[in-house]
Every structure is written in C-alpha cells, then in structure tokens.
Chain A
Amino acid sequence: MSLQVPSRAKGGATPSTKAVILVGGPARGTRFRPLSLDVPKPLFDVAGHPILEHCLNAVAKVPDIKEVFIIGYYEESVFRDFIRDAARNYPNFSIKYLREYQALGTAGGLYHFRDAILKGRPDRFFVINADVCCSFPLTEMLKLFDDRDAEAVILGTRVNDDAATNFGCIVSDAHNKRVLHYVEKPESHISNLINCGVYLFSTECIFPAVKSAIKRRTERPRLVSYPSTEALDSSFFDQDDAEKSEVIRLEQDILSDLADSRQFFVLETKDFWRQIKTAGSAVPANALYLQKAFQSGSEEISKPSANILPPVYIHPTARVDPTAKLGPNVSIGANVTIGPGVRVKEAIVLEDAEIKHDSCVMYAIVGWSSKIGAWARVEGTPTPVASHNTTIIKNGVKVQSITILGKDCGVRDEVRVQNCVCLPNKELKRDVTNEVIM
C-alpha cells in the first residue's frame, strides 16, 4: 500500500467509512481496579451493557459503516464471546478484534493494522476510545467532515477551566471550527475545550501523518515524557513503552501536527461526556447512559413507580422485592437478589450480588456475588454533576467518592462502609470509612 498522498476522490460515489475502537490492554486499566481484577474494563457493565457495547451502539447508528475493528492487547479469548454475540446483534457490520502483541500507542496500533483498515479503500474511519462515555454524535462529525472537506474531525467538549489541564486541550477558530492548536495535558491554561477521545480521520491524512511521526521519532526521539496520571489516553501506555520509538500516540505525537498543517476541525458536543477511567467513574457513566436510555424511551428501563425512581435498569433475571426502593441511576445485574425494604440509589449492583433487607446502598458499586447484610449501609459521596474527578478531599485526605466492593465481598449486618474501596474476597465486619481494604 502506497502512502504517497493520492488525490482525494471528490464527488462521485458516497465515501465509505469504517470504525476503530481502541480498548487498550490488561496491564493498563489499573485505575479501574478493583473491578478490572475480575473483568476487563471494556466488558464491564454500565447501564446493563458492557462499555464496549455502548460504543458499538453508536457505530450502529451510522448506516454506511460496514466494518468495525477493535484494537487492543488483551488476549483474543477475552473478546471472543462478546464479538460472537455482537455479530448477531449488529448484522449491519462486521467486527474483528485486532490484537497488538506489544503496546504500540494509540496511533502506532492504527498504523500497525493499516492494511486491514485500508482494505476496500475506505475514505475515512472513526477512532473511538472505549473508555469514553458520551452520546457519540458520529453523524454530526461526519456532516462537519463533509461540510468542511476535512481531513480530520475531533470531538470536543467544554469543561471547567481548572479541570481542563487534565485533558488534551483544543484551541479552535470560533467561526469555522478549525483546530488551530492542540496540546495534551498542558501545564498552564490554554483552552477549556478538550479532546473527547473520538475522532474521524481521512485515510489519506492519518497514515502519512503517523508515518512522518515515526520517521521524526527515529531521527529525534521525544525528550519530554508526559506524566500519565490523568491524561485522557495515558492508560494506553506505560512510561517505559513511551520511551520506545515504536510507540506513537495520537494525542502527543499526531494531533498537534495536524492542527498546524491540516484541514482539522472540532465538533463541540453540548451533550454529556465522561471518561471511564477509575472504577468510581463507572457510576456517573452509568447514570448518564441510563438517563439517555430513559429519555429515548428504551424498553429496558423499568417503569417509574412509588418504589422505582427513574432511571433504573433491572436485569430480567434479578429478584427485587417490591418493597425495595430503587433509583435514580441504578443498574441491577443478572441474578441479583434485593431483599425487602432495601434502598439503592446512584449505584451499580453486579451479577449474583445479594442485598439483604432494610439495607441502604448509595453512590456505590457492589461487586459480583458480593453480599450485603441486613441494615447495612454502603455509601459513597455525591460529587458535583459537572465534576470529572472521582476523588474528594475528606479531612484533608484524598478518598474515593464512590464506594466500591470487589467481587465476592461481604458486608455484615448493620455494618457501615463509607468512601471505601474493597478488594475482592474481603468480608467487612466492622464500620469502615475512607479506606482501601486490601
């Protein structure tokens, strides 16, 4: 395949589009622990469906996408069942998992699999980070792409000024939406329009850009390595990997150049957007997806009643006592048992968990097969609606705002667990606050 820039095919046939979903790998989603100790993050259920499925739902709304790639470095077996089921549920496109054997970076991975992506000569393709929770306005991105004759479109959203430096910041022309400048996790304030981790690239643009970045890297290795704490895509790398020349990241190595020289535009979404980075961030993501499903009249959402404050998702196999009060923003997994007089709000209760009578679960994630005793209270702290942070400061100490129980945990009768993260297979016999329980 030649990487010489060919003349763009204008007019004529409708341009064809593919989609790539970046899922990262098992050594990366560490901040999703303790939940990722038992389930790979892309398959974690949010609002009743794996995170990855929410991405596929978005892709399925774009009719001309016929082929979807999932790129990551999990073992093939991890996604085998998911892809088999997806093939049945999404008849309009094919899904393939492309496994990187070493971490290549977000752009490096795309480049590595360029032959697969370019097969059939698509004009453009979406790149979606799987750990993003948003309404994925892909059709609007396509429209902007066409209207501006773009080579690249990035999805952006506004955040509070003080939060912006944790993300990739975009400076754009307010009138024509062109990206003028891009910088990943700047030290100082540059813009509060940030990178949502969803892109649309023309094939003619992105691969040559990656290639020249690789060339430049071999000639002039990057001196600065970015701290990987809160950056949007940092979970896709290690610092060690980043030092290797083959690791090429879209955010650090490509987008800035695109802003300099290309037809690079930003679509600013006014809709919700969250990263699903830490395990606790699954709770706001769950809330946002549930609200979206409720607003769109989804059949999956339970009918509101005195004891169901919408939106609530209850898996058909779950057993919920009619005197239990659920919601808002609650997902109840398969085969869960909820006893009489239980209160659950702003929470995810995972498969096979059991919650006994008169207990109260709020701002929390209850791990698979965990058991919560009678009159127990498992509680996190609500965070401001606009906050992108999943920690809070309590008595001068940074603690998780969401309480998380890993798989097979137990909370004894009447015990209170507040702002704690509990690793799998632990039984909590006494009240605990602001702790990580190993």
Chain B
Amino acid sequence: MKALILVGGFGTRLRPLTLTLPKPLVEFANKPMIEHQVESLAAAGVTDIVLAVNYRPEIMTAALKRYEQEYGVKIEFSVESEPLGTAGPLKLAEKILGKDDSPFFVLNSDVICDYPFKQLAAFHKSHGDEGTIIVTKVEEPSKYGVVVHKPNHASRIDRFVEKPVEFVGNRINAGIYILNPSVLRRIELRPTSIEQETFPAICEDGQLHSFDLEGFWMDVGQPKDFLSGTCLYLSSLTKKGAKQLTPTSESYVHGGNVLIDPTAKIGKHCRIGPNVTIGPNVVVGDGVRLQRCVLLSGSKVKDHAWIKSTIVGWNSSVGKWARLENVTVLGDDVSIGDEIYVNGGSVLPHKSIKQNVDVPAIIM
C-alpha cells in the first residue's frame, strides 16, 4: 500500500521549535512526529510513503533513511516548487500514488491519534466507493468544518459545512483519508484544497464516506495543542497499560502519564506528573516539580525548579527555583536564569533569560 504525508512548509506555528528542526522531526512523546506516522503506516502494510514538502530539509534525509530500514518502507520526497495546497501535492505524486489500483492513505503531518489505518482500509474496501475520511467528534463543532451525512445513511457524506452557526452535526474532518487512485483524476496540478474542492466534488457523486475515529485526536501544529496532544497521547498509553510509561510505583511519579527516556537522570525529592515527557539525556535536579510539560533531549532542569504547561527545547537549561508556565516554549539551547519566572514566553534559540517574563511575550 501507499501513503502520502502532507508536511507542507516550515511549520511556523510550532516555532521556536521549528527554527531548529523541521516539524516532522520534532519529538512528540519522545519520538519524531513523522516516526509515529511511518510506524503506524508500516504496521498497516504500507510500503511506499511520499512526503509532500515545499522545501527540502536536508536534515531529514538521514532520519528517513533510518526509518526506511527500521520499518521496511520506501520514503520519497515530493517537493513542491510552489505551495500546492492540500490537494495539489497528491497530483504531484501521481506517479507513485497511481502506480497501481490499490487505494492510498493521505494524512496531515500535524495530526496525532491512534491511527486506525487497518480498520480504515477494511471499511473503505467494504463500501467500495472512491474515498473515506476519518472523522472525529468534537465538543464545539462551530470552530471546524462539520460533516453532514446523507439522510438515513451512517457513513455516506452529503456535504461539509464550514464553521456552522447552527448545529448540523459534531463530526469533523480529522485530516486522515484513504482514497482510490481515481481521485487523482479529479485534481489538477495547481494550488488547490482537498477539503474545499476535491471532497465536495466526490460528495456530489455520493462517493465519499466517513469513518469514526475511536479515542483521542489532536492537531498538534502549535505549542498549546502540542501540550494538549501530549496529555491525550499519554492518557491513551496509560489506558493501554503501555510498558514504556514510567510506573506509578516510582516515588517521584505523581498522577501518572509520565514518559521518561531511560537515559534521563532524575534527582531526589522530585514530583513529576501528570502528563510529562522527558527525552533522552535530560537531567532533572533535586526537588523539581514537573507537570503537563515536555522536556526535549539534552535539556537540563536544575534543583527546585517548577515547570507546568511548558516545552523545554533541546539542550536548554532551566535555573534553580525558576518557574515556567502558561505555554512557555523554549527553543534550542535556551538558558533560563536561577529564580526567573516565565509566563507564556516563546524564547528563540540560544537566548539567555535573566529577567522575569511576567506576561506572554516572544523573546527574540
């Protein structure tokens, strides 16, 4: 089987992290975003993966080579010379996606969930129509494009309503699809949107179905959602009883949902959790309090610091008695001084912070 991952541009919404690494390589729960997807696709029997990018990140090549070996897949870049939207890249990759009659997966690289590729493929095969999109239930459909089904049909989609004022349904497009190669004939090679042009056209012909997603879903394209998505992901690991989680019997684990790389060092008298990921070679000092945060590889949190709702970038250091909160994001190699308070700061790489950041701000 085949798949296309829509990576797109520079991932500016996830800056300052994406100033250092391309978005697909930013670790989500200690594993690059793209690896979560490649792993799941491979497990569902996918052998050909296309990365649709509109820049060529040389830095990714090495990582992708590794995944090709590890997961037994072939990964190719499809580079847009100009941004082609969400449908154009499919056309651009027609040679691969349309090389046989089997359907192909399409996924947005920012979406994190329990990817149900196998069930999706089975469902798609069962109805026999052109396309199936995964939908997920949301509490506030008015913020999204909502799926409306044909009357008396559980899965066939009638239309999409963008940001409905009145309630028309609570299922939204989750950004993961399986499509027959015939869909490629519907797309022209120009900047075009799959949501706004391609899907409505397939709907017209009654050829588009929805597939309900079980469990969590999150677009983790920006820091706030990256943190929320981490919580959801860790909760789902807990539910599954996943072994990689740090056991709650560990004295410093508080409230569970804690994922700590085995190479990380944790000091004495810490209280960690809930919803914390700690990457490789991280050093956490004594008496540190961590909750709802992500410590990326090589970072260092000194004694007695307090961190909540924060992403600590690679190789950054957080001073003693520092306090970080409210979606603070530290880029690569940032240093936060002792006793400093940062409230919602986005700190660009290599900065050294010596004064409190009392209100959310971007520190250039």
A53 at the interface (CB under 8 A from B): no
Residues of A at under 8 Å CB distance from B?
Answer: 323, 325, 340-343, 345, 357-358, 360, 362, 374-375, 377, 379, 381, 394-395, 414, 416, 418, 433
Q: Is the CB of A375 within 8 A of B341?
A: no
Which residues of B from 286 to 336 have beta carbons under 8 Å from A?
Answer: 286-289, 303-304, 306, 320-321, 323
Cβ-neighbour of B286 out of A341, A418, A433 (below 8 A): A341
Q: Is the CB of B303 within 8 A of A341?
A: yes
B339 at the interface (CB under 8 A from A): yes
Cβ-neighbour of A341 out of B304, B358, B359 (below 8 A): B304
Q: Residues of B contacting A418 with CB < 8 Å? A: 341, 358
Q: Is the CB of B358 within 8 A of A358?
A: no
Q: Residues of A contacting B320 with CB < 8 Å? A: 325, 343
Q: Is the CB of A394 within 8 A of B304?
A: no
Which residues of B from 247 to 290 have beta carbons under 8 Å from A?
Answer: 269, 271, 286-289
Q: Is the CB of B339 within 8 A of A360?
A: yes
Give the nearest-CB partner of A433 in chain B.
B358
A-B contact pairs, 6 of them (CB 8 A): A341-B304, A357-B287, A360-B321, A360-B323, A375-B306, A416-B341
Q: Is the CB of B287 within 8 A of A358?
A: yes
Q: Is the CB of A377 within 8 A of B269?
A: no
A340 and B339 contact, Cβ closer than 8 Å, known pairs A357-B269, A360-B321, A394-B358:
no
Cβ-neighbour of B304 out of A358, A379, A414 (below 8 A): A358
Q: How many A-B residue pairs have CB under 8 A?
A: 49
Q: Residues of A contacting B358 with CB < 8 Å? A: 394, 418, 433
Q: In the assembled complex, how far is the CB of residue B268 from the closest CB belonging to chain A, in whole angstroms?
A: 10
Q: Residues of B contacting A394 with CB < 8 Å? A: 358
Residues of B at under 8 Å CB distance from A?
Answer: 269, 271, 286-289, 303-304, 306, 320-321, 323, 339, 341, 356, 358-359
Q: Residues of B contacting A340 with CB < 8 Å? A: 269, 287
Q: Is the CB of B269 within 8 A of A341?
A: yes
Q: In the assembled complex, how far is the CB of residue A146 from the closest CB belonging to chain B, in whole angstroms?
A: 50
Q: In the assembled complex, how far is the CB of residue A366 from the closest CB belonging to chain B, in whole angstroms?
A: 16
Q: Residues of A contacting B359 with CB < 8 Å? A: 395
Having A358-B289, A374-B289, A381-B356, one finds 4 other A-B pairs with CB under 8 Å, namely A340-B269, A343-B320, A343-B339, A377-B323
Give the nearest-CB partner of A341 in chain B.
B287
Most B Cβ at <10 Å: residue of A340, A360, A394, A414: A360
Give the docked Cα–Cα distance between A377 and B322 (Å): 9
When A and B form their complex, which 4 residue pairs have the shortest distance between CB atoms, in order from nearest? A341-B287, A358-B287, A360-B321, A343-B321
Q: Residues of B contacting A360 with CB < 8 Å? A: 304, 321, 323, 339
Q: Residues of A contacting B303 with CB < 8 Å? A: 341
Give the docked Cα–Cα distance between A358 and B358 (Å): 21
Q: Residues of B contacting A345 with CB < 8 Å? A: 339
Q: In the assembled complex, how far is the CB of residue A385 from the closest CB belonging to chain B, in whole angstroms?
A: 16
Give the nearest-CB partner of A344 in chain B.
B321
Q: Is the CB of A377 within 8 A of B286?
A: no
Give the docked Cα–Cα distance between A325 and B286 (Å): 14
Give the docked Cα–Cα distance between A377 and B338 (Å): 13
Q: Residues of B contacting A342 with CB < 8 Å? A: 304
